[in-house]
Amino acid sequence: MKKTLKIISSLLTVVLFINLIIMALLVISSKASGGEPQAFGYQIKSVLSGSMEPTFQTGSVIAVKPVEDPSLIKEKDIITFVLEDGSLATHRVMEVIHNGENLLFQTKGDNNEDMDSQPVLAENVKAVYTGFTIPYLGYFIDFAKSSKGTATLLIIPGLILLAYSAVTIYQAIREIDGPKKTTEETEKTA
């Protein structure tokens, strides 16, 4: 029983510590990049609308790779691009348009009936979808990026880890003092 509790205790410590490290890295990465978190050269984007359903659901997280050469983008690729208002959209390329020296992409959301009203200029394309999606994780990441989420996901696991460390130290001191007190009591009675 004691060995089982020790194993569970160790696993809990590792999980809390890993959570603390991952959350710190995500928060630092998103603050440093001024936007979405990044890992291993991929950007993590939250899906905010249902325009690409069923390819990915609202609230999902998708991994995209920043575009280095827009000329490599082809029909059926899913791209993330900047809209006129500065926000980002992720839609499927329906047509690649070569207009003189300009490269444009006609896009459409999989769940939309009509094509997007404006073709996307190649310089407005920021990333290409890699095929990696995690449903509903976007809600969690949006919460983590908020001030309440940052506090909750960094401070609370840190406090739990500190409390757990205090309990472990207290138990270790009790185990060390236990045999010592027994030896002292034996010597007094003798």
Cα–Cα dist 121/124, whole Å: 5
User: From edge to edge, which strands make up the β-sheet containing 102-108?
Assistant: 38-39, 42-46, 61-66, 125-134, 78-82, 88-99, 102-108, 120-121
Residue 35: per-residue pLDDT: 58
pLDDT over 60 (residue 182): no
pLDDT over 90 (residue 107): yes
pTM score, whole prediction = 0.61
- Could you tell me the pLDDT band of residue 58, with boundaries at 50, 70 and 90? confident
Angle at 40 between CA 90 and CA 46, to 5 degrees: 30
Determine the length of the chain: 190
Average pLDDT over residues 135-155: 77
Top-confidence residue, 33 or 23: 23
Helix (H) or strand (E) holding 8: helix 2-33
What are the residue numbers of the active site?
49
Most confident of 35-39, 63-67, 137-141: 63-67
